[in-house]
Amino acid sequence: MNFRSWLLAAVACAAFALAPVCAPAQSIKIGEINSYTGPLSAFTLPYRNGWTLATEEINAAGGVLGRTLEVIARDDAGKAGDAVKFAEELVSSENVALLAGTFLSNIGLAVADIAKQRKVLFIAAEPLTDAMTWAAGNRYTFRLRPSTYMQAAMLAEEAAKLPAKRWATLAPNYEYGQSAVANFKKLLSAKRPDVEWVAEQWPALFKIDAGPTVQALARANPEAIYNVTFSGDLAKFVREGSLRGLFENRAVVSLLTGEPEYLVPLKDEAPVGWITTGYPWTGIETPEHDRFLASYRDRFGEEPRLGSIVGYNTILTVAAVVAKAGSTDTEKMVDAMKGLGVETPFGPITYRAIDHQSTMGAYVGRIAVQGGKGVMVDWRYADGADYLPSDDEVRKLRPAD
């Protein structure tokens, strides 16, 4: 700083009865934890792009409360123990204002427990387990994405319209898969008491032996299958099931399969006709999404994935809660999260006060192959607010904060 610049700074500071040299406002540090390496990177790398874009846009517009946002990211590599270690480090050594992120449900629950112990706000971006906001819910944890219950309710609504009575299920054998199957069975059975559950398959996460799994499902001779596999497990199931004719004249209802993260790698092998939740970015024509899409393409030179939206909305949530709280004080931010409204590329969402679940929805439609690529068709946006249990039901599911 030359003398003239110093003098101008000193005069400005004196006008506010401050020190002779104005220190820049400290950034608002966000401790972000996710599985950036390994089989989940197809989702988490676009997710990182999403939060990067939102952070840059907010900072370019002046930040929040006159302070820039700074994301300090850590890669848990899909290991809960590493996520816990990083959460402790971010809170203790980096002095972050809050924690955000995580993908797998078991990792999200582990970080939520740290948030509870350390009394730090945690915005769980991706983990879908219902326990996050219900059985294991706590004052300091809030969740962005629609839960397994919400998405299962969306799909059960469509499944109930099918003539199928004999159903089989396939899901990874950990909390998310177990919750997704339990919810779907409960919700579909309530709508269709005539449904019969004839088989269940529970492969270990990322370790599916697709041949025997497909054979076991075929032997049960279901009229329809509910699938909860994702990532590499999904691709193996689709390919083996197609090869063995499992999907011929048989309905499949599938959680998450319509997300570009999973359709793009399948290309023309995408399973035509499956009913699924996903993200049909090519067909969404709203001002909010158009602006996001143009900005994302311009910044990264590629098309967005659902992870991109989740990462973007995570930082929008951070900015909104700090602005509403008027502070980075944890207790003020936690109070501000209850009922917080956020404008997103999917439209406005709200974080419910009673269970800390956002009303972010999902797109529901069918899979088709167009131009050698898997796409969603005949889709609709299912508003998350329409697929949440009542306050009375939540009080039975969630411990008091």
Q: Could you read off the pLDDT of 189-199 as tens digits, one per residue? A: 999 999 999 99
Give pLDDT, residue 5.
38
Query: Could you say which DSSP state residue 195 is in?
Result: -
| 400 — pLDDT class (breaks 50, 70, 90) | confident
Q: What sign results for the dihedral spanned by CA atoms 322, 326, 330, 335?
A: negative
Give pLDDT, residue 3.
28
Q: Which CATH architecture has domain 28-148+285-361?
A: 3-Layer(aba) Sandwich (3.40)
Give pLDDT, residue 139.
98
Q: Give, in degrees to the nearest 5, the angle at Cα 44 between 122 and 352.
A: 35
Strand pairing category for 196-201 and 373-382: unpaired
Topology match between the domains 28-148+285-361 and 149-281+363-387:
yes
Give pLDDT, residue 38.
87
Give pLDDT, residue 14.
34
Inform me whether the pLDDT recorded for 96 exceeds 80. yes
Superfamily of domain 149-281+363-387: Response regulator (3.40.50.2300)
Where along the chain do its domains lie? 28-148+285-361, 149-281+363-387
For residue range 111-133, list pLDDT tens digits in order.
999 999 999 999 999 999 999 99
Stated as kind and residue range, the H or E segment containing 134 is: none
- Find the mean pLDDT for residues 203-229: 97
Output b/e per residue, 195-212; b: 16+ Cβ within 10 A.
Answer: bebbbbbebebbebebee
For residue range 374-387, list pLDDT tens digits in order.
999 999 999 999 99
DSSP secondary structure of 211-248: HHHHHHHHHH--SEEEE---HHHHHHHHHHHHHTTTTT
Give pLDDT, residue 24.
61
**Which residues does 183 contact at the CB level (< 8 Å), separation at least 6?**
130, 148, 149, 152, 153
Give pLDDT, residue 188.
98
Give pLDDT, residue 401.
80
- Find the mean pLDDT for residues 193-217: 97
| 8 — pLDDT class (breaks 50, 70, 90) | very low
Percent of the chain surpassing pLDDT 90: 92
Output b/e per residue, 213-223; b: 16+ Cβ within 10 A.
Answer: bbeebbeeebb
Give the Cα separation of 320 and 5 in Å (integer). Answer: 35
- Residue from 361, 334, 357, 390 nearest 137 by CA: 357
Instruction: Name the residue with higher pLDDT: 71 or 11.
Output: 71
Give pLDDT, residue 344.
98
Q: What is the mean pLDDT of the chain?
A: 93
E strands of 11-145, at which residues? 28-34, 69-75, 98-101, 122-124, 141-143
Give pLDDT, residue 23.
52
